[in-house]
Amino acid sequence: MREAAYLHLRESILSGILLPGTRISEPGLAESLGISRTPVREALQRLSQEGLVELSPGRGARVRVITPQEVREVYEVRALLEAEGARLAALNATGAELEALEERLEALDRIPAEQYPEQMRVDFEFHSLLMEASHNRTLVRVYQDLRSGLALVRAHQQTLSQHPKTREQHHQILKALQQREAEQAARAARAHVLYFMEVVLEAAQRQGGQQWT
Amino acid sequence: MREAAYLHLRESILSGILLPGTRISEPGLAESLGISRTPVREALQRLSQEGLVELSPGRGARVRVITPQEVREVYEVRALLEAEGARLAALNATGAELEALEERLEALDRIPAEQYPEQMRVDFEFHSLLMEASHNRTLVRVYQDLRSGLALVRAHQQTLSQHPKTREQHHQILKALQQREAEQAARAARAHVLYFMEVVLEAAQRQGGQQWT
DNA sequence: CGCCTGAAAAGTGTATACAGTATACACGTG
DNA sequence: CACGTGTATACTGTATACACTTTTCAGGCG
């Protein structure tokens, strides 16, 4: 039930049902889920450590507010991690892992542009598989922690995937991995993440102000 | 009281009172601290997310066991983060921050070699200040998360600080920061962390087997 | 009309109770 | 003598109760 509360809250936040800054009441959420406060509390604390909610002592939980400055910081760290992941993957990836990556890019091409959630899911899988191919589980863990925070940002930035450049960059990364060119893979991954950061920040500037979901 | 339970457990684990693999009983710990199970549970879950304890569903909590392979992974990621931190610090550090760093190195020289805990504390402060001088709070957060796991390793590796090379490497980093040479700072920080990793792994091999603290 | 005050409502933090489950140990069986 | 089974104990996960704090809102005062 803790897991259920966690997943429900996470989904509510990422899908935009709960806007940033919204207060989350333990009794309220517990009743709406038909469970007691205990698992709700534990779910909130987990989300707090993941950076999706803010927990002030004695004053309850709120959905976290993220500033553009913070988005920039997170993407810069992600670029660092993903570049290293790509470098290691070029050295350590197995044949099966390379095929799985290739398969995801083919799947992305097959998905119609209007099915945004599906695109996002496969895109996410591609990057996760890339990091796992590094064979450094600590790197993967840190990366996933960072991404759960990033999800907050992308929630309302729909339609920005499948930019023309994105597809080309994905293939550049894969090609470098297949040719075992570590430095080239790192550069390509870094460029991809930083390019995406600019797209996100631009879209945010157009549609919002100092903060958003 | 959650904080008290958290700090008590953390200290017990890092000081070696609780050895890796030891089962931690919620009722037992609650009684020994004179509090109820609720805050104990919450502390255990926090420690679980920080990587100090392992939490198997329905089967309670154990102090986590770390393998040399994992130590290598963690230090490699730390080297990556700290190199980036040093690079950014060379660009962004304020005068006051540079002075604080210098002060820590002077303090390290003043501490007698036998006061190991004090040395470790100041050494920790130096590295934390270095990362904070990067002015990227996300980078700092990820770094601190990683280090709390590392603390497990160093707990029983006393006497390995103040290796002759350590002092020199610290000063190399600081010098690069003062001269605003970003790439040199990154290289120096990376070399320092990786060197330290080798020292730790060597010490572990001498005194242990496949796993320790 | 605005601001301060104070009481009521809601909420957080901790303790405790209870149901379901894993673990350990002893006994019986092959 | 080894192994499986059954029972008793201990523990985890969830629910509920209670004290204390924060928030809210209405009424009175300046």
B68 touches strand C (CB under 7 A): no
Asked whether residue A212 is domain-assigned, the answer is: no
Buried b (16+ CB within 10 A) or exposed e, B23-58: ebebeebbeebebeeebbbbbbbbbbbbbbbbbeee
Asked whether residue B21 falls in the same domain as residue B90, the answer is no
> How high is the pLDDT of residue A12?
92
> CA(A65)–C1'(D30) in Å?
40
**Average confidence (pLDDT) over B21-43:** 94
Asked whether residue A54 falls in the same domain as residue A92, the answer is no
For residues B82 and B73, give the distance between their C-alpha atoms in angstroms, rounded to a whole number: 14
Higher pLDDT, B203 or B110: B110
Asked whether residue A180 is domain-assigned, the answer is: yes
Asked whether residue A213 is domain-assigned, the answer is: no
> How high is the pLDDT of residue A210?
45
Q: Tell if the CB–CB gap between B73 and A138 is shorter than 8 Å.
A: yes
Asked whether residue B213 is domain-assigned, the answer is: no
pLDDT tens for each residue of B37-49? 999 999 999 999 9
Contact A157, A96 (CB under 8 A): no
- Nearest nucleotide to B58 by CA–C1' distance? D12
Higher pLDDT, A199 or B209: A199
Q: Tell if the CB–CB gap between B138 and A70 is shorter than 8 Å.
A: yes
Asked whether residue B17 is domain-assigned, the answer is: yes
Last residue of a domain, one of B20, B36, B63: B63
A209, pLDDT greater than 90: no
Using the structure block, give the residue that is written with the tokens 């610090």. B89
> How high is the pLDDT of residue B210?
44
pLDDT tens for each residue of B92-132? 999 999 999 999 999 998 988 788 788 888 999 999 999 99
Higher pLDDT, A208 or B56: B56
Give A77's contacts in chain B (Cβ within 8 Å). Answer: 84, 136, 138-139, 142
Last residue of a domain, one of B44, B63, B82: B63
Range of the domain at A30: 2-63
A4, pLDDT greater than 60: yes
> How high is the pLDDT of residue A162?
63
Q: What percent of chain A has pLDDT over 90?
A: 65
Q: Which of B77, B84, B136 sits opposite A139 (nearest CB)?
A: B77
Asked whether residue A125 is domain-assigned, the answer is: yes
Asked whether residue A45 falls in the same domain as residue A123, the answer is no
B42 touches strand C (CB under 7 A): yes
Which residues are within 8 A (CB) of A150 and not within 5 positions of it... i.e. 6 or more apart? A74, A75, A78
pLDDT tens for each residue of A111-149? 887 887 888 889 999 999 999 999 999 999 999 989 887
Last residue of a domain, one of A38, A63, A88: A63
Q: Which of B41, B84, B137 sits opposite A80 (nearest CB)?
A: B84
> How high is the pLDDT of residue A151?
76
Give A38's contacts in chain B (Cβ within 8 Å). Answer: 38
Which domain CATH number covers A42? Answer: 1.10.10.10
Asked whether residue B102 falls in the same domain as residue B47, the answer is no
Nucleotides of D under 7 A from a protein CB: 10-17, 21-23
For residues A207 and A72, give the distance between their C-alpha atoms in angstroms, rounded to a whole number: 17
Higher pLDDT, B117 or B84: B84
Asked whether residue B175 falls in the same domain as residue B84, the answer is yes
**Average confidence (pLDDT) over B147-151:** 79
Confidence of residue A203 (pLDDT cuts 50, 70, 90): confident
**Average confidence (pLDDT) over B186-205:** 90
Provide residues of B within 8 Å CB-CB of chain A.
38, 41-42, 45-46, 49, 70, 73-74, 76-77, 80-81, 84, 136-139, 142, 145-146
Shortest Cα–Cα distance, B42 to chain A (Å): 7
> CA(A13)–C1'(C3) in Å?
38
> CA(A40)–C1'(D10) in Å?
26
Over chain A, what is the mean pLDDT? 90
Asked whether residue A103 falls in the same domain as residue A158, the answer is yes
Asked whether residue B96 falls in the same domain as residue B80, the answer is yes
pLDDT tens for each residue of A29-81? 999 999 999 999 999 999 999 889 999 999 999 999 888 888 899 999 999 99
Q: Tell if the CB–CB gap between A138 and B46 is shorter than 8 Å.
A: no
**CA Rg, chain B, in Å?**
18
A110, pLDDT greater than 50: yes
Asked whether residue B159 falls in the same domain as residue B198, the answer is yes
A213, pLDDT greater than 80: no
Q: Tell if the CB–CB gap between A80 and B77 is shorter than 8 Å.
A: no
B135: region left, alpha or beta (phi > 0 left; psi from -120 to 50 alpha): left
Residues 51-110 of A with CB under 7 A from strand C: 57-61
> How high is the pLDDT of residue A156?
60
Over chain B, what is the mean pLDDT? 89
